[in-house]
Amino acid sequence: SYIYFEEARLTMLTKKLYAQKLDPSCFTNAAVKGQEDFPQTYYPEHDYHTMYIAEIESILLKE
């Protein structure tokens, strides 16, 4: 069973393969060019996003 917005023009139905909280020590300078304080600027509460890797099972396209 999938949940998605009926109004969406494009929906990807996926199967979650992996999930992990972002680790602030893993941010690279290349990823945050010119923003050495990136984690503190965007995550002052240390409420880091969760990164997902998923397999696309199908795509719904409304025309």
Q: Is residue 16 in a domain?
A: yes
pTM: 0.67
Range of the domain at 55: 10-61
For 3-54, write each residue's pLDDT tens digit: 999 999 999 999 999 999 998 888 776 556 667 677 778 889 989 999 999 9
Q: Is residue 30 in a domain?
A: yes
Find all residues with CB under 8 Å of 52, minimum gap 6, and list them. 16, 18, 19
> What's the confidence (pLDDT) of residue 41?
80
> What's the confidence (pLDDT) of residue 30?
59
> What's the confidence (pLDDT) of residue 31?
59
Instruction: Give one word for 34, left, alpha or beta, with left for phi > 0 and alpha for psi -120 to 50.
Output: left
Q: Is residue 32 in a domain?
A: yes
Q: Is residue 4 in a domain?
A: no
Q: Is residue 14 in a domain?
A: yes
pLDDT above 70: residue 62: yes
Q: Is residue 5 in a domain?
A: no
What is the number of structural domains in the chain? 1
